[in-house]
Amino acid sequence: MAYGDRYEMVCGIETHAEMATKTKIFCACSTEFGAEQNTHVCPVCLGLPGTLPVLNREAVNLAIKAGLALNCEIATVSKFDRKNYYYPDLPKNYQTSQFDLPIAKNGWLEITTDAGGGKRVGITRAHMEEDAGKLVHSGETITTSSAGSSVDYNRAGVPLLEIVSEPDLRSPEEALAYLTSLVRILDYAGVSDCKLEQGSVRFDVNLSLRPKGRADLGTRTEMKNLNSLSAVRRCLEYEAERQAGVLDGGGQIIQETRTWDEGREMTLSLRSKEEAHDYRYFPEPDLMPLRISPAWVESMRRALPELPEARRERLIGLGLSPYDAGVIIADKDLALYFDEALKTGPDVKTLANWLTSELYGLLNARGESLAACLIKPAALAALVNLIKQGAISGKMGKTVLEMMASTGRDPEDIVRAEKMTQISDAAELSALVDEVLANNPKSADDYRGGKEQALGFLVGQVMRLTKGQANPALVNRILKEKLN
């Protein structure tokens, strides 16, 4: 019996997103991913004695933008605090974070629920902090690595934005809708690349159950460091069933931190509330309080690009179906590509169709990304124009698209070089139709006798004569005129 028959899920999520700055939050080291171990480090991010942090203003800019994009209040005075705990990947054995004066609070974002309606999910707060380094173990964990562990501090000091949601999520699906929407907003706003596969976004989820219809909250557990949306979904499903099992058996949920074991697809107890860290937060004395003027906030508001929901509305206004608009805005690269292609004025719906089904299908088949695709937006628009004007058929278009993807050539060049121009001259086609009818009198009779499929054969004969260049719709019409 599924937990959902008896219990309601109450879930809140903390999202840690790496901000898209070029340099780290407190020093000038590069944030580039994938560099050789310990090459993007300096005395400051290694926490060497006597070094001091200097706040990266761009990180604050991005945090303000994120706050605005998530409908938050931006603090006029914000500050940093030290979160003290010992771990070898933490160079100073404290993390510079924000405790009681986060840069943004009291926001929301809208999701579409399972039932199809809209729902606001509250954003409690968003705050800036520094990332830690990365441990590389010779064994499975730090305590079982007999041959030792090494630490890569390239990531230490990369700016993170932690976004804390209210416990407003009621199902794994809602959690997924929230995260999808959140990640998309951060991506659009330029706050984070949200490259989940590179670990640039990580999630901590809090979950409790309560009997349906009850308003008070049950005891929650926290699952830390999930690194994909699918892991969040599977973790929530597992943990909800586990809690339901405990509650059904008359047991009590222990407030604790658990870990998601990806291999075993289950959550495991990490530490109880009693064993929880005391982080001994106190104000970071090496940084001055951050004063954020209304003018600063306004300049960030003006610099904020069009966000996904506004873009969806605009695309629908241009005549796209809500479905097509949804497909396009789901991916920032796709949306930007679409806008770029629109500049040369192709038919909006045809463009949407060719982008979302033909080009995307082709890229999938070729295993390519849109970013790496040789077909530039203007070239796709040109192809759409050729088809819409009838210069080539849709079928030819697909062939041209493939050639464009392989060579990066313009569609006009391909059509000209391959002599793929469609014959849409009625007089020329009429003569060819006459020739086909003269050579196939039986088929003509069959059609007249009511065999509709004979028409297809006759169209095919015209296409064969023209090596496929005849405009099929026009051939169809001329044939019908002559046969009737």
Partner 1 sequence: MDIRLSECSVAELGRLLRGRELSAAELTEYYLERIERLDPAVRAYISVLADKARIRAREMDALLSAGAGGPLTGVPAALKDNICLAGAVTTCASKALANFRPPYSATAAEKLLHAGAVVLGKLNMDEFAMGSSTEYSAFFPTHNPWDLARVPGGSSGGAAAAVAAGTAPYAIGSDTGGSIRQPASFCGVVGMKPTYGAVSRYGLVAFASSLDQIGPLTRTVADNALVLTAIAGHDPKDSTSAPNEPGDYSAGLEEGARGLKIGLPKEFFREGLAPGVEKVIRDSARRLESLGAEVGECSLPHMDHAIAAYYLIAPAECSSNLARYDGVRYGLRAPAADVIDMFQASRSAGFGPEVKRRIMLGTYALSAGYYDAYYLQAQKLRTLIRQDYERVFAEYDVILSPTAPTAAYRFGEMSDPLSMYMGDIYTIPVNLAGLPAISLPAGLTDGMPVGVQFIGRHFEEALLYQAAFALEQSVAFTERPALTEVD
Chain residues that interact with partner 1, rule: CB under 8 A: 43, 46-55, 82, 84, 86, 88, 91-94, 142-143, 149, 151, 278, 280-282, 285-288
Within 291-410, residue ranges assigned H as helices are 294-303, 308-317, 322-329, 332-342, 348-353, 360-366, 377-388, 394-407
C-alpha 364, offset from chain centre: 17
Q: How far apart are CA 282 and CA 129, in angstroms?
A: 14
Q: Given the complex with partner 1, which of 96 and 443 has the nearer CB atom? A: 96
Which one, 52 or 303, has the nearer CB to partner 1? 52
Q: Cβ distance 115 to 108 under 8 Å?
A: no
Residue 298 C-beta: closest distance to partner 1, Å: 24
Both tokens of residue 348? 């909006």
Whole-number Å distance between alpha carbons of 154 and 40: 5
Q: Least distance in Å: CB of 174 to partner 1?
A: 33
Which one-letter DSSP state was computed for residue 7? Answer: E
**Which two tokens mark 214?**
């009850």
Report in angstroms how near the CB of residue 44 gets to partner 1 at its nearest: 8
Please report where in the chains the tokens 């010992």 appear, as a residue: 86
Distance in Å, CB of 15 to partner 1, minimum: 25
Whichever of 148 and 456 has its CB closer to partner 1, that residue is: 148
Please identify, using beta-carbon distances, which residue of 280 and 448 lies nearer to partner 1.
Answer: 280
For the beta sheet containing 201-211, the strands, ordered from the edge strand earlier in sequence to the opposite edge, are 73-74, 104-112, 118-130, 159-165, 7-18, 201-211, 221-226, 256-261, 266-272
141 vs 484 by CB, closer to partner 1: 141
CB of 39 to partner 1, least distance (A): 15
Nearer to partner 1, 60 or 205 (CB): 60
Q: Token digits for 154?
A: 């390239």
Amino acid at 24: K
Q: Which two tokens stand for residue 127?
A: 């705050």
Q: Which pair of structure tokens corresponds to residue 341?
A: 């292609």
Pair type for strands 134-137 and 149-152: antiparallel
**Closer CB to partner 1, 277 or 467, in the complex:** 277
**Min CB(286)–partner 1 separation in Å:** 5
Q: Which is nearer to partner 1, 54 or 365 (CB)?
A: 54
CB of 369 to partner 1, least distance (A): 38
Q: Spell out the long-range contacts of 258-261 with Cβ–Cβ below 8 A and sequence spacing 24 or more.
A: 258/221, 258/222, 258/223, 258/224, 259/223, 259/224, 259/225, 260/223, 260/225, 260/226, 260/231, 260/234, 260/235
Q: Which two tokens stand for residue 115?
A: 């039932």
Kindly tell me which of 35 and 287 has the beta carbon lying closer to partner 1: 287
State both tokens at 172: 């794994």
- Tell me how far, at minimum, the Cβ of 300 lies from partner 1, in Å: 21
Using the structure block, give the residue that is written with the tokens 């001259």.
Answer: 425
- Nearest CB to partner 1, comparing residues 79 and 234: 79
H-only helix segments in 264-307: 294-303
Burial of 316 (0-12, 13-18, 19+ CB in 10 A): middle
| Helix, coil or strand: residue 120 | strand
**Nearer CB in complex with partner 1: 42/483:** 42
